[in-house]
Every structure is written in C-alpha cells, then in structure tokens.
Amino acid sequence: MSTIEDVARLAGLSRTTVSRVINNHPYVSEDKKKRVKFAMNTLGFVPNSAARRLRKQRTETVAVLVPRVTNPFFSRLIESLEIFASDHKYKLIICQTRYLPEKELEYLELLSTKQVDGIILCSLQNKWSIVEPYLQHGPIVMCNEYTDEAHIPMVKFNQAEGAYVATKHLLEQGHRRLLFCSGSDKSSMIVQHRKKGFLHAVSEHKEQVDSVEFVEDAYDMEDGCRVFRDLLDTKENPTAIFAGGDEVAAGIILEAKRHQWSIPEQLAVIGFDNQLLSEIMEPTITTVCQPVDQMAKKVIELMMEKIRTKTYKKQEVYEFELELMIKGSTVKHTTVLA
C-alpha cells in the first residue's frame, strides 16, 4: 500500500502540494495537478478516499435523474447543471429513468448506498410518499417538475403563465377551435399547470371559442405526426394547436406539409422550449422560451447549500418566468431567413 509520501516522491513535489491536489485546493497549477494524479495512478494510490469520505462524509458527486437524455430540453438542462456543479468542484452523474417508476427508485438508491451526496429530480415517476423516505439519506432538490406535497427545495418555471400567454397569442389571431396537447397529465404538475393557463386564456375569450379539445401522451416528433393524422378524421378540425413541446410541434408541421397543408394559414402551431429545432423548421416554430441556465444555477446553489447545512426538509419554491417567442408557425412572414 503506497503512501502520500510515495506519491510526493514520484511526482517530485512536496507532500503539501499532493495533499492540496487531493483536497481540491485552489491555486495548484494544472501541471502539478497532472503530475500528482499521474503519480497516484502509477502507484495505485487511492486518495485515502475511505478516510476522506469518513471525515467529510461526502462523495462530491450529485446525481440528476431525467426521463430521457435524447430530449433536447433535458440534454441542455443536464449540460448546464454539469457546468455549474463543476464550478463547485462537484461531479454530476446523470441517470435516465425512461419514465419508469422502478428505475427512479433504483437510482434514488444511489443516495442510500452513499454513492452520491444528493439527488436532483427533473421528473417524478412515483408518488411523493414513495420517494420521501429517501430524504433521510441526503437532500433531494426538484428541478422543473414539482409537487405541492414535497417539503424540499423546488425550482420551477411558471408553466401556467407560459401556457396562458401562448394561448392568448393564438386567440388574438382569431382562432375559434383549439387543441391542447400534453404528456400524461395524471402524474405531472407541469401539465396540470399548463392546462390551467390554457383554460384561463380560453375563458377570457369564451365568446370567440367554438371548441376545445385535449390530446394526451404526446412527447416527441412521431407523436406529433400522429396528432396531425388523427385530426384529419375529425369533422371540424382545430385551426390552432398548443403542442406542449417543439418536437411535437415539428411533427405536426412535418405531417401537415406532407398533406399539402400550409402553415400557419390552415393550421397554427405553437411549441414549447425554444429548441434549435424551432429555428430550423420551415416555417420556424412559435414557442415558449424557458431560462434553463438560470434554473440550473439556482438548483446547484441550493444543492450545495443543503449538502453543507444538512437541513433540507422544508418546502422552498423558486419560480422563473417564461417568454413567448413569436415565429412563423403562428403568424405569416414574421421571420425571414436573412
């Protein structure tokens, strides 16, 4: 078993420098860090992690649970969380639950087995009462998704307001028949709050509105294509769709174009997320912009504070506002390629 002295000797550096590198002190040059790490690895020296963790009781690792890493909203959120965690010398490990309750529990066990110091939950697949007991092993912070029952820190977007402003924009274009798409609304407060905002706008224009329909389980582009095809079977199809996501909106538009419909003249579509996709599509997609970086920064700050203070079983809610971005899929000739 090699010692810290062996590492210092091989690296040609002082014991203090080695110790600084091990403890992530600032003011150690990159070159010295590399030499120490190389020496540690050559000797098979584990930075007395057992002793260190016992002393600090920390893994300096946080896990983030997301349903799907291929969803650009989540991959952007992860990227941002990782950058802010890194500023605090924390590693961020990412776990994909695929919307499965049992996978969520498996990854929550990283907390009880002390593989991570805290967990960031970006969706909630189990009832809160099932998740809550894990809190005894460390802090959980909710990010994007939320639930009134949880007495933990939560950072979210004002979904109701975002949906309200988007729907109001559709109604101001004179639409009378509206379709609201969402994922499953049983589990997600996001969907419920968006629906609330949507209905609020509708109620303000109730003389104008002839029909309002709802479609569930719309998550990706393929679902969007299906939404459009289903709409062909209806007698009086909606003229405006709140798609709930840019991928769903893109699917609706692609399929509509395949059927020679013109967008927005025959059908107005509004997305959500302001993904790159909304810029690339022709027409570009009117969407709702979510300040992902601001949310990620707040989540990491809260997590660091909770790991430090070890008091985190109190409800704290932080909310960021959303912004409507009007593009070509709802208003003709608003954006020109130039």
Residues that bind its own copies (CB under 8 A): 30, 33-34, 37-38, 41-42, 44, 46-47, 49, 59, 61, 63, 68-70, 72, 75-76, 78-79, 82-83, 86, 91-96, 98, 102-103, 105-107, 109-110, 112-115, 130, 133-134, 136-137, 221, 250, 254, 257-258, 276-277, 280-282, 337-338
> Nearer Cβ to its own copies, position 70 or 315?
70
Q: Least distance in Å: CB of 174 to its own copies?
A: 28
Tokens of 333: 């000739």
Q: In whole angstroms, how close is the CB of 267 to its own copies at the nearest point?
A: 16
**Smallest gap from residue 204 Cβ to its own copies (A):** 35
CB of 77 to its own copies, least distance (A): 10
Minimum distance of its own copies from residue 238's CB (angstroms): 22
Task: Name which of 225 and 241 has its Cβ closer to its own copies.
Answer: 225
CA–CA distance, 254 with 282 (Å, rounded to integer): 9
Q: Which is nearer to its own copies, 260 or 309 (CB)?
A: 260
Residue whose CB is less far from its own copies, 171 or 263: 263
Q: Render the burial of 79-118: b for 16+ CB within 10 Å, e for the rest.
A: ebbbebbeeeebebebbbbeeeeebbeebbebbeeeebbb
Most distant CA pair in the chain, distance: 82
Q: 159-172 vs 189-204: helix axis angle to the nearest 10?
A: 40
- Is residue 287 within 8 A of residue 274, CB to CB? The reply is yes
Question: In this complex, which beta carbon is closest to its own copies, that of residue 113 or of residue 203?
Answer: 113
Which residue has 């992860």 as its token pair?
78
* Distance (Å, whole) CA 4 – CA 46: 10
Give the pair of three-digit tokens for residue 289. Answer: 């912009």
| Shortest CB 169 distance to its own copies, Å | 24
Shorter beta-carbon distance to its own copies: residue 88 or 214 = 88
Contact 227, 251 (CB under 8 A): yes
